[in-house]
């Protein structure tokens, strides 16, 4: 442990850039990474504004940030697939490799998982971080640090697309055009959907989503989504529905959207329990899937970005220097509809 600079959430509503004790030496199986770029995530902002997310409460100062890319500067014993100088991005959640969930291949739902910037685990808005090499992924030369820091939110979209079990040519509906909704639409299109009907109330968000070929934006202030989906699918319904708004209202009518035998993937997390239309779901034999973060999605995400088939650069709205981190968070709190992802660059 030694004292280093970091963006620290002292308590709800109070951020500081100050020194804090953090591990700085790579042990066995670990690498030390010089952090280059960190994305500001909705969860980081939520801890800032609310001091908690569900059962996770900020009881002591915590370093924020979990969407990161950087360069390996030290390699611990036993690490063979990475070397000093490799450009990498990191998976923020580290499970117990021997847990039952991990052995089932669902390490994302391991109750023992530790996740950056989820109390009491520190995040990575600090110049260096030590991380298990097994959760550190090399970036190809044509993938920038900025794109590397987008892999974490994109992996959520990839998990949703994977859970949907998309068939080539499927029609998807994405409810909510926030950062995750757009990531889900992009992943669904990359995964074989012919089109993604993206619904939101905010036109600037829809305009950003509509930059992607295959996205059909629907402003639900102006149009009835069920009618639009029926019109576009000749009354049959969509194959896959991704609920990314987290709005309880979305669940009132979501069962009207899928075709018989279609799937609803719950991505957004409503704060309170929602009504669930069992009869309609059963009559249509609708399959329901859920998503919690991601498992085994980093390499696939990086491969799609490197291939050029997924371009996340249009989603980076603005970049701040580390010294402007608090400004970046206050900007994120504003939740401008034209902002998708704000990033902080530490290593210029
Ligand atoms: Zn995130």
pLDDT at res. 340: 96
- Locate all alpha helices (DSSP H) within 233-346, ordered by sequence: 250-253, 278-283, 298-307, 325-334
- Tell me which fold the domain 2-150+312-345 belongs to: Quinone Oxidoreductase; Chain A, domain 1 (3.90.180)
The rounded percent of the chain whose pLDDT value lies above 70 is 100
Q: Output the CA 146–ligand 1 centroid distance in Å.
A: 14
Could you count the other beta carbons within 10 Å of the beta carbon of residue 278?
9
Whether the per-residue pLDDT at 65 is higher than 70: the answer is yes
Q: Output the CA 226–ligand 1 centroid distance in Å.
A: 30
Q: Output the CA 286–ligand 1 centroid distance in Å.
A: 29
Token couple for 274: 């929602």
124-133 pLDDT, tens digit each:
999 999 999 9
Q: Output the CA 86–ligand 1 centroid distance in Å.
A: 23
84-97 pLDDT, tens digit each:
999 999 999 999 99
| CA pair distance 276, 253, nearest whole angstrom | 9
- In which residue ranges of the chain is CATH 3.90.180.10 found? 2-150+312-345
| CA pair distance 218, 205, nearest whole angstrom | 11
| CA pair distance 278, 1, nearest whole angstrom | 53
Q: Output the CA 49–ligand 1 centroid distance in Å.
A: 16
**CATH-assigned architecture of domain 156-290:** 3-Layer(aba) Sandwich (3.40)
- In which residue ranges of the chain is CATH 3.40.50.720 found? 156-290
Q: Output the CA 333–ligand 1 centroid distance in Å.
A: 15
Coil, strand or helix: which one is 255?
Answer: helix
Angle between the N-to-C axes of helices 179-190 and 151-164, in degrees from 0 to 180, rounded to the nearest 10: 60
| CA pair distance 112, 116, nearest whole angstrom | 13
Do 72 and 83 meet the contact criterion of CB atoms below 8 Å apart?
yes
| CA pair distance 49, 159, nearest whole angstrom | 27
pLDDT at res. 1: 82
Token couple for 196: 């993604």
- Helix, strand and coil percent figures for the chain, each rounded to 5: 30, 30, 40
pLDDT at res. 271: 86
pLDDT at res. 175: 98
Mean of pLDDT values over 182-187: 98
Q: Output the CA 335–ligand 1 centroid distance in Å.
A: 15
Do 228 and 256 meet the contact criterion of CB atoms below 8 Å apart?
no
Mean pLDDT, all residues of the chain: 97
Q: Output the CA 131–ligand 1 centroid distance in Å.
A: 17
29-59 pLDDT, tens digit each:
999 999 999 999 999 999 999 999 988 999 9
Q: Output the CA 42–ligand 1 centroid distance in Å.
A: 7
Q: Output the CA 39–ligand 1 centroid distance in Å.
A: 8
Q: How many Cα atoms occupy the beta-carbon half-sphere of 296 within 13 Å?
A: 8
With 0-12 / 13-18 / 19 or more C-beta atoms within 10 angstroms meaning exposed / middle / buried, residue 260 is exposed
Q: Output the CA 133–ligand 1 centroid distance in Å.
A: 20
Token couple for 167: 């068939």
pLDDT at res. 348: 67
Whether the per-residue pLDDT at 274 is higher than 70: the answer is yes
Q: Output the CA 90–ligand 1 centroid distance in Å.
A: 12
CA dihedral 185, 190, 195, 199 (to 10 degrees): 0
| Beta-strand pair 136-138/171-175 | unpaired
Whether the per-residue pLDDT at 204 is higher than 70: the answer is yes
288-328 pLDDT, tens digit each:
999 999 999 999 999 999 999 999 999 999 999 999 999 99
pLDDT at res. 224: 98
Q: Output the CA 17–ligand 1 centroid distance in Å.
A: 21
Nearest to 36 by CA among 5, 65, 67, 70: 70
């Amino acid at each position: 442990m030694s004292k280093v600079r970091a963006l620290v959430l002292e308590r709800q509503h109070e951020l500081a850039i100050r020194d804090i004790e953090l591990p700085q030496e790579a042990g066995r199986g670990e690498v030390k990474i010089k952090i280059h770029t960190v994305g500001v995530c909705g969860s980081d902002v939520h801890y800032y504004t609310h001091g908690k997310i569900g059962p996770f409460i900020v009881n002591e100062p915590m370093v924020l940030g979990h969407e990161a890319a950087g360069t390996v500067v030290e390699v611990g014993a036993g690490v063979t697939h990475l070397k000093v100088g490799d450009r990498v991005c990191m998976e923020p959640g580290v499970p117990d490799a021997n847990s039952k969930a991990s052995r089932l291949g669902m390490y994302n739902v391991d109750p023992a998982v530790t996740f950056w910037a989820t109390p009491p685990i520190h995040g990575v808005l600090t110049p260096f971080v030590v991380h298990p090499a097994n959760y550190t992924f090399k970036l190809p030369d044509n993938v920038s640090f900025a794109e590397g820091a987008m892999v974490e939110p994109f992996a959520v979209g990839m998990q949703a697309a994977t859970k949907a079990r998309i068939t080539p040519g499927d029609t998807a509906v994405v409810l909510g055009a926030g950062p995750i909704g757009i990531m889900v639409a992009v992943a669904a299109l990359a995964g074989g959907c012919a089109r993604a009907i993206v619904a939101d109330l905010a036109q600037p968000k829809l305009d950003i989503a509509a930059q992607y070929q295959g996205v059909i934006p629907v402003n639900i202030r102006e149009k009835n989504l069920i009618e639009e989906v029926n019109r576009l699918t000749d009354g049959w319904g969509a194959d896959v529905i991704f609920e990314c708004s987290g709005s309880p209202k979305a669940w009132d009518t979501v069962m009207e959207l899928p075709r018989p035998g279609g799937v609803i993937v719950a991505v957004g997390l409503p704060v309170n329990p929602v009504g669930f239309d069992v009869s309609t779901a059963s009559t249509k034999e609708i399959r329901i899937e859920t998503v919690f973060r991601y498992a085994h999605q980093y390499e696939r995400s990086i491969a799609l970005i490197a291939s050029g088939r997924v371009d996340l650069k249009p989603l980076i709205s603005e970049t701040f220097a580390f010294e402007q981190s608090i400004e970046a968070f206050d900007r994120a709190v504003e939740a401008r509809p034209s902002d998708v992802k704000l990033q902080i660059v530490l290593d210029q």
